[in-house]
Amino acid sequence: MQYGPAVRRRKLGAELRALRARTGLTSGEAARLVGWHQSKVSRIETGASGVKPADVRLLLDAYGVAEAQLRELLLVLAGSHDGGRDHWWHAYRGVLPPTYRDFISLESQASAMRTLETSVVPGLLQTPEYARAVTRAAVEGLEEERLDALVEVRLARQDVLRAQSPLELTAVLDEAVLRREVGGPDVMARQLRRLVDAGRLPQVRLQVLPFSAGAHIGITGPFVILSFPSTSDLDVVVLDHMTSSLYLERKEDLQAYSEAFNTLQIHALSPEDSLDFIAGIGDGA
């Protein structure tokens, strides 16, 4: 299932229902506050119908929700890619597919990201040269102008690590990520140094899963778990495919992938040993 209208509606409806319950209002009382029929509130809360961002604002005002970050996230789920204001990625709407815009919107609101990478360096930690080489390889026949734009987007996304309240990034990297020469030896050497520098940041935790660990639970492919500051009900697992992204939001999926990530961390090198390991590969490059 893609993180499209149906999943958006369910997640948004569940959160709005929880916020209403927190105020002690019935669905009928909430409807009267905003001038609607009770059935409209019920349809929104069950995900049976979509809701406009303007209607979400009405409900949030009625429920006394003032927290800006939560309001913005719920507006994103309502289909407002800018959360009620323009964000930097708005300028790239002609370049980015909707699923990628969804991911960037959610990433910008997340408080934490856990990711397993089996082939390439996480986008949030890529150097410009590495990002260009990876993007060129991933999308055949890419025009130079579009390539430039996609690299700009990749680098702009990294601002979440430098924000006032930065994203907490925990990444487990298969050793193949470090051994695969992307863009040539010089590009790879700079990328490895960038990883070491990033791993020393307080908001970044890197762990390497060495080849010596053998087969592991993440061998089927990479994944990302996004967590949000206001509610765990909005957490989501993202699986990337060649032509689309798959978003998993059931509690069972979140639990399974969270447990898998914990297992990977146990088998991976410690953060300190991982940085030494990366630096050692870089010195030999």
Helix (H) or strand (E) holding 169: strand 168-174
Question: Please, what is the average pLDDT of the chain?
Answer: 87
Q: Are 174 and 268 in contact (CB under 8 A)?
A: no
| Per-residue model confidence (pLDDT) at position 68 | 83
Is residue 116 scored above 50 in pLDDT? yes
DSSP conformation class of 240: E
CA 56, 168, 261, 208 torsion-angle sign: positive
| Per-residue model confidence (pLDDT) at position 113 | 97
From 68, 79, 61, select the one nearest 12 (Cα to Cα).
79
d(CA 201, CA 197): 7
| Per-residue model confidence (pLDDT) at position 216 | 86
This prediction's pTM: 0.80
Q: What is the token pair recorded at 226?
A: 């996004």
Helix (H, G, I), strand (E, B) or coil at 124: helix
Helix (DSSP H) and strand (DSSP E) numbers for the chain = 12, 6
d(CA 104, CA 81): 9
Per residue in 46-93, pLDDT (tens digit) is 888 778 888 999 999 999 999 887 888 788 777 664 444 557 887 888
Per residue in 12-36, pLDDT (tens digit) is 888 899 999 999 999 999 999 999 9
| Per-residue model confidence (pLDDT) at position 76 | 75
Per residue in 211-269, pLDDT (tens digit) is 999 888 888 889 999 998 766 667 889 887 655 677 787 889 999 999 999 999 999 99
| Per-residue model confidence (pLDDT) at position 89 | 80
**In 10 A of CB 221, how many CB atoms?**
11
| Per-residue model confidence (pLDDT) at position 109 | 80
Sorting pLDDT into bands at 50, 70 and 90, what band is 119? Answer: very high
Sorting pLDDT into bands at 50, 70 and 90, what band is 283? Answer: confident
CA 142 to chain centre: 25
Q: Are 134 and 120 in contact (CB under 8 A)?
A: yes
Helix (H) or strand (E) holding 114: strand 112-117
